Chains A and B, each alone.
Chain A
Amino acid sequence: MTMICSGCESELASHLVCESCGALQVCEESPTPFASMGLEPSQAMDSGALKKRLVKLSRAMHPDFFGNSDAATQQLAIDNTAELNAAFEILASDMARADWLVRSLGGPDENSERQMPQSFLIEVMEWNELLEEARDSGSGSPEYESAQKLGVTLQAERAAIMQGIDAALTPLPEAGSPTLTDVRKQMNAVRYVDRALEQLAELAVQANH
């Protein structure tokens, strides 16, 4: 969907601001996160390039630069900056990006495909047992060392599952494709991994106190 600047009529990349003439754009509906950032929908994302886009667009629409404008324009700068930041939050996270793409293609939401294989749940049980032992034994203990090793394993496991998700979403499947169901299952597995990684991080914080 091509959008035209309401000021200079050049083609817009970001739907929030014209990068040719600098005019803030009035959006009747929230643009998609990709449209806010001026990117094609894609699971693959260069995080460095994304940050550069954020900085460039932030400069173009930052409310501080519209201090002398009329009230409506000032408000537009605030609203569009908020849109931009929300878009960045989604696009910067591999999971949030995949979630958005799966939803936008009509795939199952995060409350679907919850049933995990027993073997996987047994694994999750074992992570938690290890975490509990590490928590009880404290830093320096062999249990704590094992938990650290678990962290490395989980990072690798996460990367492997994410790679599968990225591959399944590249190129983007057709709307309603069964691939989206598989992706959602994999994403639910990642949520367990992320929760365990979070707990490992909490463990490390406690150990340093």
Chain B
Amino acid sequence: MAYSDKVLDHYNKPRNVGSLDKASANVGTGIVGAPECGDVMKLQIEIEGDRIVDAKFKTFGCGSAIASSSLATEWVKGKTLDEALSINNTEIVEELSLPPVKIHCSVLAEDAIKAAIADVKNKRDSEKG
């Protein structure tokens, strides 16, 4: 199976690899995994108000999983939380031309975004008390 050029581009030059301060009230962390391949993906977002100002990821997995999470960090940056929540895995599949066997990688990225947003919302709500 050949990877698309876009997957290779993200794989070779992953955007936004790294970590944000997990403890910060403005940072949301989502960790998700796929048991069938043991892939694990950490996606973090930093917000100011309702807008995502930074995003980082660290993914252990195949090229498609890395590309999906790299793309996800690019897409969420600058978006509001609600806009980011509406990102759908099928958009990732289309953008990266993922083959059917790799669709779960895009699902993983979508789940990671949602988990990171849920985490930061949770922090915000608990601060408000």
Binary contact readout B21-36 vs A (1 if CB under 8 angstroms, 0 otherwise): 0000000000111111
A192 in contact with B60 (CB, 8 Å):
no
Residues of B contacting A128 with CB < 8 Å? Answer: 40, 60
Answer whether residue A51 sits at the interface, using C-beta atoms and an 8 A cutoff: no
Answer whether residue A56 sits at the interface, using C-beta atoms and an 8 A cutoff: no
B35 in contact with A132 (CB, 8 Å):
no
Q: How far is the CA of A121 from the CA of B61 in the complex (A)?
A: 13
Answer whether residue B42 sits at the interface, using C-beta atoms and an 8 A cutoff: yes
A116 in contact with B35 (CB, 8 Å):
yes
Answer whether residue B2 sits at the interface, using C-beta atoms and an 8 A cutoff: no
- Chain B residue, CB-CB nearest to A122: B31
Answer whether residue A118 sits at the interface, using C-beta atoms and an 8 A cutoff: yes
Contact of B33 among A111, A132, A192, A198 (CB under 8 A): A192
Answer whether residue B101 sits at the interface, using C-beta atoms and an 8 A cutoff: no
B31 in contact with A121 (CB, 8 Å):
yes
A114 in contact with B31 (CB, 8 Å):
no
- Chain A residue, CB-CB nearest to B29: A118
Interface residues of A (CB under 8 A from B): 110-111, 114, 116, 118, 121-122, 124-125, 128, 132, 188-189, 191-192, 194-196, 198
Closest 9 CB pairs of A and B: A195-B38, A128-B60, A188-B35, A121-B31, A191-B35, A124-B40, A121-B33, A192-B38, A125-B40
A-B contact pairs, 8 of them (CB 8 A): A114-B35, A116-B33, A122-B31, A124-B40, A125-B40, A128-B40, A192-B35, A198-B38
Q: A122-B31, A194-B38, A195-B37 are in contact. List 12 more A-B contacts (CB 8 A).
A: A114-B35, A118-B31, A121-B33, A121-B40, A125-B40, A125-B58, A128-B40, A192-B35, A192-B38, A192-B40, A196-B38, A198-B38
